[in-house]
Amino acid sequence: MPGSIPSVVQTTLERTAALTTESRRALRIAELTRQALALGPGTSLLAFEGTLWENRKVDEQLPARALSPLSVRHVVVPGEHEPVALNLFNVTDHELLVRIQIEGATNGILVTPHRSVGVPTSLGEVSWDPLPELDESATLTIPSLTSRELWLDIDLAQAKAGNQWVRVRLQALNGAGVLDAPANPHTVPPPETTVQIELRILPFAMAPPGDFRLCTWGAPEEKQVDDLLAHGNNVFCVSLPQPKYDAQGRLTGCDYTALDPVLARFHGQDVVLLFTGMPGLRGKLGSMGYQSDLNVFLDELVAHLAALGFDTNHFALYPLDEPGGNGWNAVKELVEFGQQVHAVKPGVMLYVDGGGELSMFQAMAPCIDIWCPPMPMLTEKTPLMDLVRHTGKMLWSYDCGYGYSRPVGANLKNINVVGQYRTAALLAFRHGATGIGFWCYNQGGDPWGRIDLEYMLVYPGNRKPVTSRRWEAVREGVEDCRILASLAKSVEGNRGAKITADTRARIKHLIEISLPGLLDQGYTEAGRGLGREVIDASNNDATIGAFRQEMMECVERLGHR
């Protein structure tokens, strides 16, 4: 269009591209309708496996071809959760009411059906991120010529090794031939689509949950602690007990009435407590009186926690948040407090998060037991990170960013889920960390609506939190790390001598070649600010699926030794 105004040209090109996309979709739907008719005159619904880790345009996904029944196969290990995303496409000319029935969930297998819901994002888009459980009716409504997602959470915590099957029956209650049957009272069976899920459960023990730590700064409230624990969140921030002083100003003990009910919720769980803030002791930090009171305070705290099952490896003091980012005064305060803690109670650990200058980390190093730098720092080969790796007892990392979002910003609902969440734990494993954190579980505005900061991993529900695709991705990554950790141990020392050379080589290839191959390119692309299309090409269902397949092949070969 010579001589046209550039903006007009751009608008015309965008409209032409949109019309082309719509036309291609219409042609695909026409072909699917033809295939559906070949399956039988009552066919109303086509089931297919959708993308697990994509929140955009879930309702527009189409099956590659019409199949009924649909058969899918997943290779898993006992103890993990396996998500299955079934998309249901309505081939009729009216809205369908579909009832879901699940059969065959036996031998320790528990299947919980969810549905994805489209919510607004900060950018005015739609995200199919929240995954509320189906209600008691176990029904979904699906508009004409549109898809809806049925998300199955298959809990294998109590599953036994072997081949198991789960059958999903999808009844189109008002499907073809039901409402247009003769008007006299009679029974019309609804058209039914079935999905057969084969689970090959391999004999394998993942590393214990405590071998990898997860913190989301979620308050351990009664209505949400079960969800946190179920998703691998095993680090919790709690408040210190309140010191009690007598009339003469002598420390007589502590008040645990607020703390103990919280700790009771973790009974029998392998969790780490992070006690936030400084103890409310009288006297000036660094004085003899303060040190004396701190000694009494910590003696009682250690004894009290031990009686409840928490030894000094399962709690730490978290006196200041990100002190390096708040300047030298905060760093000096932390160091002085840490020195006094270790002087009176050397076994009590101190935790620190955030970044800062090398000199700040050098000052903190003698008194820090748990380092938790931001994710971008974890990957660095710098004198600062070299110091971190060679001091302290534990190395964790946390993410309060949005490296995989485009445009860059806290618009996380439609972020690249594989890069930001699904592979986060794997990135930590790759760089020697044994824990990760995410800001945050549920602090902020109402994520059901359009809000500017979309950090929250769950959505508020009436009785309990509503999970999200991003929260499920975090859990899947943590579980993969536990599988990798167990595989890594299998090739160490005497254990490695008990397996074949080929199996040992395959496990080493997985960890030393395939894991960096999965992570490094996409991480570099995101860090350089490359576009969403580039990031998506490196971080998607296919890339994580290929890694997962190789990992499960290593698990299977290990079973054969």
Tell whether 129 and 222 lie within a shared domain.
no
**Spacing of C-alpha 269 from chain mean position:** 19
Residue 492 lies in a domain: yes
Tell me the two tokens of residue 325: 């980012």
Report the C-alpha gap between 455 and 465 in whole angstroms: 15
- My answer on whether 335 and 302 are in the same domain is yes
DSSP 160: P
By residue range, what is the domain housing residue 216? 209-560
| pLDDT at residue number 21 | 81
- What contacts 382, CB < 8 A, 6 or more positions away? 358
Helix (H, G, I), strand (E, B) or coil at 292: helix
Is residue 23 in some structural domain? no
Which residues, 6+ apart, have CB-to-CB distance to 305 below 8 Å? 263, 273, 311, 314, 315
Q: Do 243 and 130 share a domain, yes or no?
A: no
Instruction: Indicate if 439 and 539 belong to the same structural domain.
Output: yes
pLDDT at 1: 53
**Residues 179 and 301 placed together within one structural domain of the fold:** no
Is 16 domain-assigned? Answer: no
Dist. CA 207–CA 13, nearest whole Å: 54
Q: Is residue 17 part of a domain?
A: no
CATH number at residue 58: 2.60.40.10
Kindly report the three-state secondary structure assignment for every residue of 251-262. Answer: EEEEECCCHHHH
Q: Does 213 lie in the same domain as 196?
A: no
pLDDT higher than threshold 90 for residue 106: no
| Residue 308 and residue 197 share a domain | no
Tell whether 168 and 219 lie within a shared domain.
Answer: no
Residue 11 pLDDT:
76
Count up the domains in the chain and report the number.
2
165 and 44 fall within a common domain: yes
Mean pLDDT of the chain: 95
At residue 12, the pLDDT reads: 72
Strands 251-255 and 162-172: unpaired
In a domain, 15, yes or no: no
Which amino acid, 246?
A: D
Identify whether the C-beta of residue 406 lies closer than 8 Å to the C-beta of residue 125.
Answer: no
Q: Helices (DSSP H) in 467-531: which residue ranges?
A: 469-490, 493-497, 501-509, 515-527
Residues 6+ apart with CB under 8 A from 412: 402, 405, 420, 454, 455, 470
Q: Is residue 160 part of a domain?
A: yes
Q: Would you place residue 559 in the very low, low, confident or very high pLDDT band (cuts 50, 70, 90)?
A: confident
Q: Which of 201, 229, 256 is the last residue of a domain?
A: 201
What tokens were used for 355?
């970044």
**Lowest pLDDT segment from 95-109, 182-196, 491-505:** 491-505
Spatial neighbors of 179 by CB under 8 A, at least 6 apart, are none
Identify the band that residue 18 occupies on the pLDDT scale cut at 50, 70 and 90: confident
pLDDT value, residue 16: 73
Residues 230, 168 share a domain: no
Phi, psi of 47 (to 5 degrees): -100, 140
In-domain check, residue 20: no
Are residues 294 and 160 part of one domain? no
Check residue 9 and give its pLDDT: 66
Average pLDDT over residues 424-444: 97
- If asked whether residues 433 and 543 sit together in one domain, one would say yes
pTM, two decimal places: 0.95
**pLDDT tens, 474-528?**
999 999 999 999 999 999 877 766 899 999 999 999 999 999 999 999 999 999 9
* Residue at 18 is within a domain: no
The dihedral of CA 136, 137, 143, 146: what is its sign? positive
Q: Which of 175, 201, 227 is the last residue of a domain?
A: 201
pLDDT at position 347 over 80:
yes
- Which of 488, 480, 459, 482 lies closest to 471 in space, CA to CA? 459
Strands (E) located in 8-146: 45-49, 70-76, 81-90, 96-103, 110-115, 119-120, 126-127, 139-142
User: Which residue, 181, 201, 221, sits at the end of a domain?
Assistant: 201
Residues 248 and 491: beta-carbon distance below 8 Å: no
